[in-house]
Amino acid sequence: MAEREAEAGLAEQVARLTEAMEKAHLAEYVALVRDPWRLVWVNFLAGSARGLGMAFGFTVLAALVLRLVTSRFVRQMPVLGQWLAELVRLVQLNLGR
């Protein structure tokens, strides 16, 4: 009787272990590790996708920052123009002396 209970408990543990291995996709991982060229190819594709994603994200971010900076610069253009005109006038006065 105790032997049957031990077998039932062992069978339950094996079933749980099998389910956990299936959830972890362990068979796919082992197949991937056994084929080094496939592993290299998968990592190359993953790295390329990551790099393209970063490049795309940086481009969008840079465009937004550039848009924000130029819109603020255009609004302040008259102020900058007056400041530059005053600077030129002061330089000309100092050169004339």
Q: What is the pLDDT along the chain (97 residues), one digit of tens a residue?
A: 778 888 888 888 888 988 888 887 878 888 888 999 999 999 999 999 999 999 999 999 999 999 988 887 777 777 777 888 888 999 998 888 6
Domain ranges of the chain: 1-96
Q: Is 89 exposed, middle or buried (0-12, 13-18, 19+ CB in 10 A)?
A: exposed
Contact call for residues 42 and 32 (beta carbons, < 8 A): yes
| Cα–Cα distance for residue pair 7/14, rounded to 1 Å | 10
